[in-house]
Amino acid sequence: MMGKQFIVSKKLTTTLTVTAIVGLVLSLVGYFAGGIDGHRFWANVLLNGFMIIGLCLGAGFFVAVHLIAESGWQTSIQRIAEAMGSKIWLGAVMIIPIIFGAHSLYHWSHTEHLDRVLQMKQGYLNMPFFIIRMFVYLGGWIFLFHNIRKVSLLSDTNPDLKLFNRLRTFSGLFIVFFAITSSTSAWDWLMSIDAHWFSTLYGWYTFIGMFANSIAVIIIFLVVMKKMGYMDHVNDEHLHDLGKYLFGFSIFWAYLWISQYLLIWYSNIPEETTYYVTRIKGFEALFYVNLIICFVVPFFALMSRGNKRKTDWLLYTAIVVFVGHWIDLFLAIMPGAVGAEHAHIGLFEIGLSVLYVSIFAWFVFKALTKGNLVPENHPYFKESFDYENIK
């Protein structure tokens, strides 16, 4: 039973195909009926591309950090995170097209109209260097996690401890590379939309957002698979730990959410408040909805020990958090790239996101068919069932 492999059923394929078609139709209707201009089109490509690659990277970080720490509890669900992380290439395919929309997204790409501030940043913010950095990030992430996934699958047929040591080596390299590039890629793809503004916490804020979102999606995949008759080895203790992760990192996200503003406030840098002014005045309702969904809901929903152990409760909370972090990315991108008067959540935004998520889900489910659902030869696999969460 432990070595059970996942099979993509006709029902699952049909469901994801239908949702993808619905997403495509909605996005096309929204595009042609809503008069979507280049700024709004490319902003949505960036939003969804970054969301998908963020889910892959967050899951990859989940795998790598637990391998380095020689953690045991997560091995029973590790293959879900591995499957998500193995699709970094898919996220790359989805985000690379923003190169062609850079002129619509980034003011600094208009080299003929640069003010003094942007001229001083031109050594870093220029298209050739931007493209080079993008391919370095994507190439490094794909190469390192591909090796983690490859070695992990090899361990299904080979219990040699050398494979586990090799896993830890590649995980260490991934963590070091990711520690740097998670921040610099956030600067490049998101923060440079508002190129006159900067935050020393932006890389951390973006990373925690993608990691919390990845935990939410791992929970969604896990619960859906349990309802499909898989992952029956996962017990309340594993659910509890995932619930604690979602609870804890949602709090950490909120801490960084307010810390960015506080650093500007108590340093008395009024010119830096423009980032918040455009979001509060132009998107006031959404600005506070974002905080409620990403922090208040998981905080109260998962504060109780019992709630963390309820499968459906955890699933619904995870879905809410996922939607919240979509809104968080919307607020990070749209005000600077599109403007408050033109940006809103319409059929195009909803449809394109449904399409991207459906494609991502299908590829993850396909990846789950490539090996056993549990790494039984992992040296700490048995330990994952011999522990109990302290009350």
pLDDT value of position 214: 98
CB 170 within 8 A of CB 148: yes
pLDDT at position 2 is 53
Alpha carbons 236 and 242: distance in angstroms, whole number: 10
Please name every residue paired with 372 in a beta bridge, in sequence order, or none if there are none.
5
**The tokens of 247 are what?**
């609870």
Handedness of CA 8, 10, 12, 16 (dihedral sign): positive
pLDDT on residue 341: 87
Query: Which tokens sit at 61?
Result: 């970080």
Walking along the chain (391 residues) 10 residues at a time, the average pLDDT comes out as 78 97 97 91 97 98 95 91 97 97 94 88 95 98 97 90 92 97 97 91 95 98 95 90 96 94 82 86 92 97 93 96 97 93 93 98 96 87 78 60
CA–CA separation, 108 and 127 (whole Å): 9
Q: What is the CB neighbour count within 10 angstroms for residue 69? A: 11
Q: How many whole angstroms from its chain centre is CA 308?
A: 22
Only one residue has tokens 């370095």, namely 136
Q: How far is Cα 127 from Cα 5, in angstroms, rounded to an integer?
A: 45
DSSP 192-255: GGGTT---TTHHHHHHHHHHHHHHHHHHHHHHHHHHTT--TT--HHHHHHHHHHHHHHHHHHHH
Q: pTM above 0.85?
A: yes
Residues 6+ apart with CB under 8 A from 303: 247
The token pair that represents 306 in the structure block: 């019992």
